[in-house]
């Protein structure tokens, strides 16, 4: 009370403090960071190791397993998933969900040491392993540089120039160029010509090494100076390479151009190919600094790009593919409008209930609470983004609860004849502790979300913090600013305006009569609500359930797969046809395609695929989100018929990762044949369900391989070694590295390739000439046989055990949970051989983990809640009454979800937890008033009725402000489910507070 008196007596100081809050809030808003969505840590790292020439199974056994064994000893490791392809090992390291962002770098340093420790154990030719701990970096400003008739070298030169200038823009942290092709120098040779001159590939490699090696030329010294000798002669042009002297085994010298054609080219097969509207392109992806303002950064990058666009040669153009800064600004502006609408709605409701002056007074407390919260957010680095702004809107109604209670009780005290300051101090002293307890409980109900170790907890962490801070400020301002403004601006009623009895009139009399009937029929009232609760639990099964909501964007993506073994050129050709088809559609504004692998992570929740030559990704931009959704439905029907070779998935943007398949039934064991058999049984079950689409094996189809069996005896008689054979076959298409050409800062590989008159197939391989410098012989004469066999091009493991999954998606208008429930029993009943295991992966696993993480700290929050309630009321009955009311809120939630048809998911659960805090807060205020009146001499029955009547107005105002404040979120695709939960749940809960609370009190205290 002394603090409140201090603020009442020191007007100048109090005014100064409030003005500072207002100006500080405005300043904080202009300076704080702005993002589209709340950041979260991707708790994964990649360990990539090359092993040229090895089969997928050899990669798995000789490289992946060696690395995985070492990595498994890493502290805080959750599990390992690996992909093994020809010559490439990719290990995805998943760490425990509990690890917070500030601990990740230390963990990745340990991972690097684990990987480094076993490099010596890898087979010759494998490695070195590369640890990518920036796997989750978001390069949210993504541009494309495209041009018809320009080589990739020319595109890359312009892209590098742009990159160097973008790096000078404020808050730019990193710039990556995507889609650049690796240049090569191709040396096309004729085996016959090389054999005739007695030249081998080793001779050409030795010649390159001698001339192009960087060697210290020493120096000469004078009396005063030391002059370094820099011997020229390293290659700088193609002509110099053509004039390279190659010495044969016989000692004869030849110019390289005498035995080969030298030309500039690019590495084949390409790792990735990018196009914009069908034209060759390179991507320029920009990341902001950790604490940078992405909105301002993107504007700076745009200015830089606009400047370059005006200087580019004809035919070159710069396109904005995705601009996180612009998307953040649009999302923030939309939320700010919703926030303003919510504030105006809340104030309007207050004006209706308590008049202009009192309504503005309570509404000013809302403004001060929001501005103080903005100051805290700016000071602690919480950006304005979807979650933090939604938190302010969710807390909107609760922010005025405390001020409403203090204001209403002060007005009632003055109506009873108290002097103004006495009325104010009496109201504050009476409500301070109950309101503090109620505020603490409201914060506690959101605590399990914040403490959740799952990524969803990190995603919603700012929501909890902002709600907790804003509610705390609302209590502080209710105890300080509200009494001060009441004394300054609210006049005490005149003597003739004082009412002998409060809360009188027909409406109040009807309410008293209704409460009297509720108390007399208390058991019937409670029984009817229990029946309604049972019906609601039954009705819950009819609500569609989607764990994470999709976003409302004018973008969507297509993931496309050709059959395994397809050349990247063939995939590119097919995707080019898809792009041509998309460009003919009216809804499409721009299409960017990425063949071979996904582009840089321009949006945090984007999934990553590749490198794999049969994969492609398209980002499609339409004019509006509505057209994007409409087009997705069209493509779902049309693409499978127009492009039957392609397997296509259309994906909307989501807050969580988009998995490779919605449903994955994963089998683990030692034998790929057994795994394949089990997977096929599961796939049959999936395909028999009419709601399933795109059922497939995770490993894909088997591909053909040519397997020449080297015969050392026959080959020895011909003077051909195994290395001669491998070098010859390598030169057919890929090219045999024989040297390095230094092109400025680049090291360009020189590849020896066989000059073929026509493309070689499997049938011509037997006649292919193998040379050894002295003679040549067909491949068939150096081998026992050439077998055409089949192998899996992809081998996967889970925690070092072979794993294969039956995967599928669900058709539109159905949910993963619905389809999974229908196929679950049949797949789980598949009989497993000894040593084999099964579990559900993908969304099912992730959702179960999220729910387990959410409920992990719920007992702690519940225990603290009970402790506060018992400490506040000093008995067990009244806290028990409050707790019994909470489950009944499900009735309103189920009704609202069925009425609106919105999906029920994680955000709805978070909203329900917050709703519990709102309910408890209202019931605390009501029961506390019952106790006060009972202590003042009223009978308990009359105290219950009169307290409910007197508290009806503040309870309805508090609920009404929260409900109307949430209305704008009903139209937001991310938060509509949460808003429905709170709006309908709180509407019904208000009735529970006003009618069921008296009934339960009557039951517990045996009132008649």
Both 511 and 563 in one domain: the answer is no
Q: Which of 772, 791, 810 is the last residue of a domain?
A: 791
DSSP 475-543: HHHHHTHHHHHHHHH-PPPPGGG--SSSS-SHHHHHHHHHHHHHHHTHHHHHHHHHHHHHHHHHHGGGS
pLDDT number for residue 344: 78
Q: pLDDT at residue 4 above 90?
A: no
Both 527 and 388 in one domain: the answer is no
Q: Is residue 899 part of a domain?
A: yes
Q: Is residue 658 part of a domain?
A: no
Looking at per-residue pLDDT, the higher value among 855 and 596 belongs to 596
pLDDT number for residue 796: 95
For 699-732, what is each residue's pLDDT tens digit? Answer: 988 888 888 888 888 888 778 888 778 777 777 7
For 247-275, what is each residue's pLDDT tens digit? Answer: 877 778 888 888 888 888 888 888 899 99
Residue with tokens 């992966």: 841
Neighbours of 465 (CB within 10 A): 20
Q: Which of 902, 933, 897, 921 is nearest to 989 (CA)?
A: 921
Contacts of residue 831, defined as CB under 8 A and 6 or more positions apart, other chains included, come to none
Both 562 and 594 in one domain: the answer is yes
For 416-462, what is each residue's pLDDT tens digit? Answer: 778 888 888 888 888 888 888 888 888 888 888 888 877 777 777 88
pLDDT number for residue 499: 53
> DSSP strand E in 525-633: where?
555-561, 588-595, 615-622
Both 559 and 630 in one domain: the answer is yes
pLDDT number for residue 911: 82
Name the pLDDT band for 209 (thresholds 50, 70, 90). confident
CATH code assigned at 82: 3.30.70.1430
Name the pLDDT band for 41 (thresholds 50, 70, 90). confident
pLDDT number for residue 15: 87
Looking at per-residue pLDDT, the higher value among 385 and 998 belongs to 998
pLDDT number for residue 308: 86
Q: Which of 655, 681, 653 is nearest to 667 (CA)?
A: 681
Both 473 and 374 in one domain: the answer is yes
Which residues sit opposite 732 in a β-bridge?
none
When divided into structural domains, the chain yields a total of 5
Both 609 and 722 in one domain: the answer is no
Q: Which of 135, 152, 177 is the last residue of a domain?
A: 135
pLDDT number for residue 763: 64
The length of the chain is 1008
Percent of the chain with pLDDT over 70: 95
Contacts of residue 865, defined as CB under 8 A and 6 or more positions apart, other chains included, come to 441, 444, 445, 920
Looking at per-residue pLDDT, the higher value among 677 and 969 belongs to 677
For 366-377, what is each residue's pLDDT tens digit? Answer: 888 889 999 999
For 616-640, what is each residue's pLDDT tens digit? Answer: 999 999 988 889 988 988 888 889 8
Both 580 and 596 in one domain: the answer is yes
Both 391 and 360 in one domain: the answer is yes
Name the pLDDT band for 651 (thresholds 50, 70, 90). confident
For 348-363, what is each residue's pLDDT tens digit? Answer: 777 777 777 777 777 7
pLDDT number for residue 501: 54
CA 431, 435, 436 angle in degrees (round to 5)? 120
Under 8 Å between Cβ of 470 and 373:
yes
Both 368 and 385 in one domain: the answer is yes
Name the pLDDT band for 846 (thresholds 50, 70, 90). confident
Looking at per-residue pLDDT, the higher value among 235 and 690 belongs to 690
pLDDT number for residue 820: 93
CATH code assigned at 960: 1.20.1640.10
Q: Which of 758, 775, 791 is the last residue of a domain?
A: 791
Q: pLDDT at residue 67 above 90?
A: yes
For 933-945, what is each residue's pLDDT tens digit? Answer: 888 888 888 888 8
Q: pLDDT at residue 502 above 60?
A: no
Looking at per-residue pLDDT, the higher value among 899 and 356 belongs to 899
pLDDT number for residue 504: 67
pLDDT number for residue 185: 86
For 303-347, what is each residue's pLDDT tens digit? Answer: 999 888 888 888 889 999 999 888 888 877 776 777 777 777 777
Q: Is residue 741 part of a domain?
A: yes
- DSSP reduced 3-state for 262: strand
Q: Is residue 490 part of a domain?
A: yes
Q: Is residue 921 part of a domain?
A: yes
Name the pLDDT band for 234 (thresholds 50, 70, 90). low
Both 619 and 743 in one domain: the answer is no
Q: pLDDT at residue 829 above 60?
A: yes
Q: pLDDT at residue 904 above 70?
A: yes
Residues 579-584 have a mean pLDDT of 91
Q: Is residue 306 part of a domain?
A: no
Both 69 and 1 in one domain: the answer is no
Name the pLDDT band for 527 (thresholds 50, 70, 90). very high
| Token pair recorded at residue 756 | 């073929």
Alpha-carbon distance 311 to 691, whole Å?
54
Q: What is the 3-state secondary structure (H, E, C) of 149-204?
A: CCCHHHHHHHHHHHHHHHCCCCCEEEEEEECCCCEEEEEEECHHHHHHHCCCHHHH
Residues 982-998 have a mean pLDDT of 87
Looking at per-residue pLDDT, the higher value among 655 and 472 belongs to 472
Q: pLDDT at residue 915 above 90?
A: no
Which residues sit opposite 91 in a β-bridge?
47, 82
pLDDT number for residue 232: 64
Q: Which domain holds residue 722?
A: 200-258+704-791
pLDDT number for residue 432: 86
Task: Calculate helix-pair angle for 842-856, 858-873, nearest 10 degrees.
Answer: 30
pLDDT number for residue 615: 93
Q: What is the mean pLDDT of the chain?
A: 85
Q: Is residue 320 part of a domain?
A: no
CATH code assigned at 222: 3.30.2090.10
Give me the phi and psi of 317, to 5 degrees please.
-145, 155
Both 386 and 492 in one domain: the answer is yes
Percent of the chain with pLDDT over 90: 26
Q: Is residue 829 part of a domain?
A: no
């Amino acid at each position: 009370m002394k603090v409140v008196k201090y603020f009442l007596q020191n007007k100048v100081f109090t005014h100064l403090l409030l003005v500072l809050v207002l100006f500080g809030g405005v300043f904080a808003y202009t300076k704080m960071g702005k993002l589209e969505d709340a950041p979260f840590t991707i708790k994964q790292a990649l360990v990539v190791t090359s092993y040229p020439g090895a089969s997928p199974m050899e990669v798995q056994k000789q490289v992946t397993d060696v690395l995985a064994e070492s990595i498994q000893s890493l502290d805080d490791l959750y599990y390992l998933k690996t992909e093994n392809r020809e010559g490439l090992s990719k290990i995805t390291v998943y760490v425990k969900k509990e690890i917070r962002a500030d601990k990740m770098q230390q963990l990745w340093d340990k991972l690097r040491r684990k990987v480094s420790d076993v490099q010596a154990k890898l087979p010759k030719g494998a490695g070195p392993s590369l640890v990518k701990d920036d796997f989750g970096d978001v390069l949210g400003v993504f541009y494309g540089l495209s041009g018809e008739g320009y080589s990739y070298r020319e595109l890359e030169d312009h892209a590098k120039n742009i990159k160097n200038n973008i790096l000078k823009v404020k808050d730019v942290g990193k710039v990556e160029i995507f889609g650049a092709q690796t240049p090569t120098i191709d040396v096309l040779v004729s085996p016959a010509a090389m054999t005739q001159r007695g030249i081998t590939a080793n001779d050409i490699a030795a010649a390159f090494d001698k001339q192009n090696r960087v060697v210290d030329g020493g120096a000469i010294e004078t009396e005063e100076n030391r002059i370094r000798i820099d011997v020229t002669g390293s290659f700088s042009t193609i002509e110099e390479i053509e004039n390279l002297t190659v010495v044969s085994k016989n000692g004869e010298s030849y110019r390289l151009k005498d035995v080969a054609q030298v030309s500039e080219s690019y590495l084949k097969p390409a790792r990735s190919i990018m196009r914009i509207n069908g034209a060759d392109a390179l991507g320029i992806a920009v990341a902001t600094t950790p604490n940078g303002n992405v909105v301002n950064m993107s504007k700076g990058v745009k200015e830089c790009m606009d400047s370059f666009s005006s200087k580019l040669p004809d035919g070159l153009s710069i396109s904005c593919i995705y601009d996180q800064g612009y998307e953040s600004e649009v999302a923030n502006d939309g939320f700010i409008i919703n926030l303003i609408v919510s504030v105006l709605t809340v104030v309007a409701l207050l004006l209706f209930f308590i008049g202009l002056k009192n309504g503005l007074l309570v509404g000013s407390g809302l403004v001060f609470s929001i501005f103080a919260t903005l100051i805290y957010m700016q000071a602690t680095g919480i950006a304005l983004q979807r979650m933090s702004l939604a938190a302010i809107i969710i807390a909107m109604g609760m922010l005025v609860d405390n001020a409403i209670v203090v204001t209403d009780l002060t007005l009632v005290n003055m109506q009873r004849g108290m002097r103004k300051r006495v009325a104010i101090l009496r109201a504050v002293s009476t409500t301070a502790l109950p309101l503090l307890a109620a505020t603490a409980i409201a914060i506690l109900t959101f605590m399990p979300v914040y403490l959740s170790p799952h990524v969803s907890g990190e995603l919603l962490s700012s929501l909890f913090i902002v709600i907790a801070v804003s509610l705390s400020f609302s209590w502080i301002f209710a105890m300080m600013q509200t009494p001060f403004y009441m004394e300054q601006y609210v006049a005490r009623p005149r003597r003739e305006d004082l009412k002998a009895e409060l809360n009188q009139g027909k409406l109040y009399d009807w309410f008293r009569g209704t409460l009297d009937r509720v108390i007399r029929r208390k058991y019937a009232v409670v029984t009817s609500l229990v029946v309604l609760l049972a019906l609601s639990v039954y009705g819950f099964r009819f609500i569609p359930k989607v764990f994470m909501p999709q976003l409302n964007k004018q973008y969507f993506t297509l993931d496309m797969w050709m059959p395994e073994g397809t050349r990247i050129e063939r995939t590119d050709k097919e995707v080019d046809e898809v792009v041509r088809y998309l460009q003919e559609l009216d809804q499409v504004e721009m299409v960017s395609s990425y063949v071979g692998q996904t582009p840089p992570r321009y949006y945090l929740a984007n999934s990553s695929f590749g490198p794999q030559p049969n994969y492609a990704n398209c980002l499609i931009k339409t004019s509006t989100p509505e057209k994007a959704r409409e087009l997705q439905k069209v493509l779902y029907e049309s693409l499978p018929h127009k492009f039957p070779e392609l397997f296509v998935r259309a994906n909307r943007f989501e807050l969580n990762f988009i998995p490779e398949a919605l449903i994955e039934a994963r089998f683990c064991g030692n034998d790929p044949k057994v795994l394949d058999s089990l997977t096929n049984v599961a796939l049959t079950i999936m395909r028999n369900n009419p709601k399933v689409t795109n059922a497939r094996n995770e490993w894909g189809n088997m591909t053909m391989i040519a397997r020449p069996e080297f015969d050392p005896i026959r080959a020895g008689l011909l003077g051909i070694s195994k290395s001669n054979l491998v070098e010859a076959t390598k030169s057919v298409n890929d090219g045999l590295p024989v040297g390095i050409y230094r092109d400025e800062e680049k090291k360009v590989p020189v590849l020896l390739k066989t000059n073929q008159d026509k493309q070689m197939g499997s049938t011509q391989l037997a006649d292919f000439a193998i040379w050894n410098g002295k003679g040549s012989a067909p491949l068939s004469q150096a081998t026992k046989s050439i077998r055409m066999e089949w192998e899996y091009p992809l081998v996967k493991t889970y925690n070092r055990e072979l794993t294969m999954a039956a995967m599928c998606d669900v058709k539109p208008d159905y949910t993963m949970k619905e389809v999974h429930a229908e196929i679950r029993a049949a797949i789980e009943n598949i009989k497993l051989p000894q040593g084999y295991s099964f579990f559900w992966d993908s969304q099912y696993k992730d959702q179960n983990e999220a729910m387990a993480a959410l409920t992990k700290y719920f007992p702690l929050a519940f225990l603290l809640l009970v402790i506060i309630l018992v400490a506040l009321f000093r008995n067990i009955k009244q806290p028990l009454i409050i707790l019994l009311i909470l489950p009944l809120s499900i009735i309103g939630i189920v009704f609202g979800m069925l009425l609106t048809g919105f999906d029920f998911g994680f955000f709805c659960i978070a909203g329900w937890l917050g709703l519990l805090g709102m309910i408890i807060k209202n019931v605390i205020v009501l029961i506390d008033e019952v106790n006060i009146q009972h202590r003042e001499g009223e009978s308990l029955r009359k105290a219950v009725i009169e307290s409910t009547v007197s508290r009806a107005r503040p309870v309805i105002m508090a609920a009404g402000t929260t409900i109307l404040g949430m209305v704008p979120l009903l139209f937001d695709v991310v938060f509509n489910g949460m808003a429905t939960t709170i709006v309908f749940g709180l509407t019904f809960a208000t009735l529970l507070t006003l009618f069921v609370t008296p009934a339960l009190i009557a039951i517990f205290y045996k009132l008649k």
